[in-house]
Amino acid sequence: MKILLLGYGKMGKVIEKTALERGHQIVGKIDINNRQELARFNPTNTDVAIEFSAPEAAYQNLKWAMGAGVPTVCGTTGWLQHRPEIESLCAENAAAFFYASNYSIGVHLFFRLNQYLAKIVAPYQSTYDVSMTEIHHTEKKDAPSGTAITLAEGIFAEFPAKKTWVNQAEATENELPIVSLREGNVPGTHVVRYESAVDTLEIQHVAHSRDGFALGAVVAAEWLKGRQGVFGMDDLLGK
């Protein structure tokens, strides 16, 4: 499979390594220094693009990819206010777009555990209050993380006391506080905590490296090839 990398930072380099190990070809590596080279890529020479850049670059990269009809797997967060436009472009150009806030299989198991825990604690929401902490490397530009926002959405679906999130420790009764910490080279840690006056319930996911994210992204690219439409990890994994 011929893969175009949109974004060639630390994550892009791990994706490249994983893709090559799985027998794929990297046909291009686009970053801020060579965006003019995008014009030479199209569905005749590119099977799938994998987009892991920065929030400000992702929107432009995805506009190009959907306009060019290049199937694209995206893992960049912090740009989602533009998602309806990107999905419309995908439909208009009969393209393919795969988005996930996190490509780790373990994280998606954690998403399901998180939503189940919210459901069984919900009858006791007058007793337990919920909060979240997420920790990432210092180069991560958006906060809270896309994974934390997905976790928050899972809580809102099952825990009626919470309606929205705030990115701070202090929150009103209907707000879910998410504390974002940026430390060293942490790949990603997410903690969901339910506290009462007498005890604490806590679940957490700790990523040990970027390898799991890279593998998930490459597997998603393999799955996306030849498809049209908008997809996510539930489509890949089955729900």
Catalytic residue positions?
136, 140
Per-position DSSP letters for 57-71, written without gaps between them: HHHHHHHHHHHHT--
Written as six digits, the tokens of 163 are: 């309606």
Measured CA to CA in angstroms, residue 216 lies from 36, 170, 190 at distances of 28, 35, 18
> How many Å apart are CA 181 and CA 144, to the nearest integer?
9
* Interhelix angle 83-92/55-68, nearest 10 degrees: 10
Token couple for 177: 């506080």
Structure tokens at 87: 């999905």
Q: What are phi and psi of 45, to 5 degrees?
A: -125, 5
